[in-house]
Every structure is written in structure tokens, then in C-alpha cells.
A and B are shown apart, each in its own frame.
Chain A
């Protein structure tokens, strides 16, 4: 059993995601669409989220819909999120419209809290320089501390994985996914040591599935712990 806690539509070829589902390589995938890019308009958000609804219908029971959100849109953006969560989506995707701990995020988080939705938040720490509103792991941690009854997922180890793991360490409602393009030796074991096995989720972020599985296969963990990362923790988090 494999649950991919982090995948996207409209970020390169969608076949990357459909192939994983069609071939049974993953059982359940958490999907958001990134139509509109960094600063989607309300219309773009609706199209993005409608695309996710379409995939929820296409793969019944196998797609955990995540609503893309833009905190800059104010009340209309909140209403759009309410539409998505009342329609059966299970999470919220925050990307790079604002920093994760920007106060404009809070109304969206209150909706997520009421709905019991999970919040997947992008973060990176780039030596080459972050994008203008690209969160560091600490921004996501700040938000998670502000909303302790909401479960958050720090995307792709938080980017630079030592920084991400340390930022997430003392924040019990902050999970971390193992997606992304790095497969550096020790990164999974380090994350598990810092945050605890129960807060680590498997993900791809549309990278090669087997490359991402190789990180888990290569990590010095017990088989039981690998299973928790690959699906057990996600099953508990999403009540699967």
C-alpha cells in the first residue's frame, strides 16, 4: 500500500500522476492543481479546483482532493475554499502566493480548522535565493503553531532537509513529506530522528515515483517504520 501525500495537476504532464494511479503503483494520491501559477486569480483557482474535483470523480476513493488557495484573494478566496471542502476535498494547498505565516492566511486556516482539513504548505531554503513569497520551513512552523488544531504538512522535507527537520521538530501538528528531487543519503533517517516516525509521510511532488521510493528503501529503518511512512501515517492522518 502506498499513499502519495503530495502530487499536482497542471505542473507538467498530468500523465505523471495518472500513470501512477492507472498502473496501481500508488493506491491513493493527494492532489492539488496549480493552474494560475504563483498568484492565481479567483477564476483560475476555480478552474484548478474543478480540475481536482474531476479527478476525484475519475478515481473514486483514490484521490484526496486538495484545494489550491491564494490568501491574497480575501473573502472570495475563503468562499472558494469553503466550496471545495464542502464538496469533499480533504486539504488545502498553500504555495507561494504569500509567506505561510502571512496574516492573510488566517481566514483560510479557520475554514480548514472547521472542516478538519489538512494543510500542505510549500517551503524551501535556497542558497540561490527564495522566490519573493516563498516560505522557509520556519514560516510554515509559525503558522502551524498559530493553528494547533490543524494538521499541516511541510512539503518536500522543507527543501533543504536539515533546516526543514529542525524547524518541524518541536511542532506536533506539523508533518513532513519526503517528496522532491533530492535523494541525499541520511535525509530520511535524520528527519525521522528529529520529528519522530509518526510525522513522516511519503510523497512524490510529481518526481519519479521509484526515485522517491528509493529514498525510503535506502533509509536504515525497520520494515514497520517504512510502512508507516509509505501509508500508515497518511492513513491515520486522513482517516483512510
Chain B
């Protein structure tokens, strides 16, 4: 059973995008065979009020539970974030909380960020660190958003090692740079949808262990087939593939089954 640990819903403001709404995602997910997708509204990167973005996604008439399960997002510099986080976790069923420091204008080493991460962990949810939303080379001319600095992630993982983390939209080079910290924390997983280079999945499994790799598609921003074929065709065992394609996500996001 395939779990897509990195799917999105909504329009990307900078270009025309197919499959952008919930019904589009519903049509897209069977192409990768995903029976569950952990879905973040794209609007959380752009709205001030992330809660409203999550609510909007869940009100989309095409939203399908249990095929789609929501991932929330919180900006710790936005007033009332604690209450919004509670709402996302307890009322809206969000299974993880995404941090987008460079879209929301804070650093992971800031006190506000540490307070948010502590609270998410207290709620028993994984923190999804979003290194980027797209390749830095391809941003809008007037609205470039740099990637989250690896050193900021390093600081956070060292400062708060107890809890679950997912590194999302992260390059393998960044994962390698963070290797000591990934070994330090209670649970940290690499979601591998962002440009997995040649042969590196095998290398990742050797280095991290397959239990720390999550299949994510990046759909609909990316073709879901791209990351899926990387996993399916990797020279790793069937057990490793099963963990990457679903087993690990079930554990990290508490899906059971």
C-alpha cells in the first residue's frame, strides 16, 4: 500500500498547473498507486493565515477522506498560532505540521520557531521542515525565495532532538550534510521527491537505512511517476521498497495499519 508523503492541493500562483484542486489530485493519485496521500494546501506558503488555507482545502468539494489526509502549517510569527495549531491538530485531523520558514519570514533558530516545534511535538505530531517549494533557479523574477539554510536545520535538530521530523523538498546533498544530526534525533525521515540524483537512493538506503526514507511525489507540482520510478527501479530489496513506499510514512505520521 503506497503512501504519498508529499502531495499538495491548490493553485501554484506562478504558472498554469494541471490537477490543482482536490478532484484533480484524486484523479492523479491512482497514477502512482497511492492509496493515501498526505496533502498540504499550497496556499499555506502564501496566505498569512495558514489555518484558513487548511480549512479552504478541506472544504473543497473534491476532498476525499481517507484517500487524502491533511498536513497543516503554522507560522509562529502570526498571532494566535497556538490556537490555530490546536484547531488543526484536534479538530481538522492534521497528521503533521509543515514549517515554511523562508516563506513565512523567520529562521528555524528563532525562539518563535523553537516554541512552535516544542508545541507540535507535545501534540505528538511530526514537524515537516520545508526546505523549499521549488528549485531556486526557477522562481519568479521578482519573488525569489531562498532555500532554508542547512545550518538552521542543524541548529534545530541539535536543540530539540526529541520528536519526529520529516525533511521535505530537500536535496540529497543537504541530507548528507545533516547526517550527524539525523542520527541524533529521535526520528528523522528524508522525503525523497526533490530531484533524487542518479543512484543516490541506493546510497541513501545504505547510509540512512531504508526506514528513514519516505516516498513523496510532490504532486501535482511534479509528475508523480518521477519519484515513484526512482523507488521502484532502485537496486534495493523489496522490503526496503515497501518501507519507503508506505511503511515508514505510516509510522512517522501515525497512520497505523
B198 touches A206 (CB 8 A): yes
A127 touches B226 (CB 8 A): no
A222 to B255, CA, bound (A): 37
A210 to B20, CA, bound (A): 24
**How far is the CB of B3 from the nearest CB of chain A, in Å?**
18
B224 touches A211 (CB 8 A): no
A197 in the interface (beta carbon within 8 A): no
B197 in the interface (beta carbon within 8 A): yes
A166-185 interface mask toward B, CB cutoff 8 Å, 1 = contact, 0 = none? 00000000000000011111
B140 in the interface (beta carbon within 8 A): yes
B230 touches A186 (CB 8 A): no
Q: Which residues of A contact B16 (CB under 8 A)?
A: 186
**How far is the CB of A110 from the nearest CB of chain B, in Å?**
33
Majority secondary structure, B binding face: loop
Q: Which 9 A-B pairs have the closest CB atoms?
A: A218-B223, A214-B226, A183-B226, A218-B225, A210-B229, A214-B225, A126-B137, A16-B198, A127-B139
B window 206-245: CB within 8 A of A:
218-230, 232-233
Q: Which residues of A contact B118 (CB under 8 A)?
A: none
Q: Which of A183, A185, A210, A217 counts the most chain B CB atoms within 10 A? A: A185
A interface residue numbers (CB < 8 A to B): 13, 15-16, 19, 124, 126-128, 159-160, 162, 181-186, 204, 206-215, 217-219
**How far is the CB of A134 from the nearest CB of chain B, in Å?**
11
A182 to B226, CA, bound (A): 10
**How far is the CB of A186 from the nearest CB of chain B, in Å?**
5
Q: Which residues of B contact A162 (CB under 8 A)?
A: 15
Closest to B144 in A: A127
A185 touches B137 (CB 8 A): no
A183 to B230, CA, bound (A): 12
Q: Which residues of A contact B31 (CB under 8 A)?
A: 218
Q: Which of B17, B201, B230 counts the most chain A CB atoms within 10 A? A: B230
Known contacts A214-B227, A214-B228, A219-B223; is A185 also within 8 Å of B138 by CB? Answer: no
B interface residue numbers (CB < 8 A to A): 15-19, 31, 134-141, 144, 195-201, 218-230, 232-233
**How far is the CB of A136 from the nearest CB of chain B, in Å?**
12
Q: Which residues of A contact B224 (CB under 8 A)?
A: 214, 218
A100 to B195, CA, bound (A): 27
A13 to B197, CA, bound (A): 12
A154 to B134, CA, bound (A): 22
B135 touches A182 (CB 8 A): yes
A214 to B135, CA, bound (A): 18
One of B135, B140, B230 near A210 (C-beta < 8 A): B230
**How far is the CB of B219 from the nearest CB of chain A, in Å?**
7
Q: Which residues of A contact B139 (CB under 8 A)?
A: 127-128
Closest to A212 in B: B226
Q: Which residues of A contact B228 (CB under 8 A)?
A: 214
Known contacts A162-B15, A218-B31; is A208 also within 8 Å of B196 by CB? Answer: yes
A13 to B219, CA, bound (A): 30
Q: Which of B138, B220, B227, B230 counts the most chain A CB atoms within 10 A? A: B138
A185 touches B225 (CB 8 A): no
A203 to B198, CA, bound (A): 13
Q: Which residues of A contact B134 (CB under 8 A)?
A: 184
Contacts A19-B198, A181-B195, A208-B230 supplied; 19 other A-B pairs, CB < 8 Å: A19-B199, A127-B136, A127-B137, A160-B137, A162-B15, A181-B197, A182-B138, A183-B223, A183-B226, A185-B221, A186-B17, A204-B198, A207-B197, A208-B198, A210-B232, A214-B224, A214-B230, A218-B224, A218-B226
Q: Which residues of A contact B227 (CB under 8 A)?
A: 183, 211, 214
B226 touches A211 (CB 8 A): yes
**Can you list 15 A-B pairs with a CB-CB distance of less than 8 A?**
A19-B198, A181-B197, A183-B195, A186-B18, A208-B197, A208-B201, A210-B230, A210-B232, A214-B224, A214-B225, A214-B229, A215-B223, A215-B225, A217-B229, A218-B224
One of A15, A182, A184, A211 near B230 (C-beta < 8 A): A211
Closest to A209 in B: B198
Q: Which residues of B contact A184 (CB under 8 A)?
A: 134, 138, 221-223
Q: Which residues of B contact A160 (CB under 8 A)?
A: 137-138
**How far is the CB of B212 from the nearest CB of chain A, in Å?**
19
B137 touches A214 (CB 8 A): no
Q: Which residues of A contact B222 (CB under 8 A)?
A: 183-185
A184 to B140, CA, bound (A): 15
A59 to B79, CA, bound (A): 64
Q: Which residues of A contact B137 (CB under 8 A)?
A: 124, 126-128, 159-160
